[in-house]
Every structure is written in structure tokens, then in C-alpha cells.
Amino acid sequence: MALHTRKRQVLTPLELKIMQVLWENGPGNVQAVLEKMPGEPAPAYTTVQTMLNVLHRKGKVKRTLRGRAYEYRATVSEDHASGSAVEDIVDRVFGGSVEGLLMSLVKSKQVDAETLARVSERLAEELEKGDE
């Protein structure tokens, strides 16, 4: 099992929605983030404000005072956040086994042999780039 000395801070579903707005649209204040939030019903203004403050405390966003409102911008990339989430799932659900995750995807027919072959080719290309 993969053990980690630091605790990962995986984003909650609402935090992820807020981060996706910042990743897609760039920096914004609470109102701007709220207006771009997907889904119905939209969360309350104060909920988005609270979650942005939580994300700020976690170091996932930075804020700058612009006039009377804070403007928030993401400090972690989408790739980093998704990588942390996948790592968390692999650790918690599959005991740290990436092979276990892959086999689960195959058994549940979410990945087929053709997809695995394409991924294998891309993996080989990435490994070659690393050797250069």
C-alpha cells in the first residue's frame, strides 16, 4: 500500500465545481464565480463565499482585494488536483494498487482492450520523452 507522510487535500464536490469555474474562466470575485457555476439550483452567494475562503485557507486559491471585493485565482492546476484525487481513490479503494484500479475499469467494461492499447502507446511515448 502506498503510504504518504503528508495528508492530501482532495477537493470536495463543491470545491471542485468552484475550481473548475476558476480554471475555465480565470480569476473572479464571488459574484463572477457564482454566475458561472453549473447546475441548478445555484448555491447561495454566502456558500460560494465561504467555500472560496476555505479554498484560500487550504492554499488552493489566492485572493487580491480589488475595490471592495476579493478576486480569487487558482493556485493549483487542474492536472494537479485531478492527480491528487486519483491518488486518493487508488489509496483508499484499491490499497495503493494502480493495477487494481485498471482491472476494476476493465471488469466494469469502462475500459476495453482498444483503449488500453492506445494508452500503452501513449505511455511508451511519454517514457521516451522522459529519457531524452
Cell numbers for 49, please give them.
463565499
Total domains present in the chain: 2
The pTM of the full predicted model, rounded to 2 decimals, is 0.76
In the predicted structure, residue 2 carries a pLDDT above the cut 60: no
Which structural domain range is residue 37 located in? 13-74
CATH label of the domain that carries residue 21? 1.10.10.10
pLDDT in tens, 9-42: 789 999 999 999 999 999 999 999 999 998 888 8
Q: Tell me, yes or no, whether 70 and 25 share the same domain.
A: yes
Task: State pLDDT tens for residues 38-74.
Answer: 888 889 999 999 999 999 999 999 999 999 999 999 9
Pairwise CA distance, residues 94 & 117, whole Å: 23
Is there a contact between 89 and 104 (Cβ–Cβ < 8 Å)? Answer: no
Per-residue pLDDT tens digits for 86-121: 999 999 999 999 999 989 999 999 999 899 899 999
Mean pLDDT of 77-89: 93
Rounded CA separation 127/34 (Å): 41
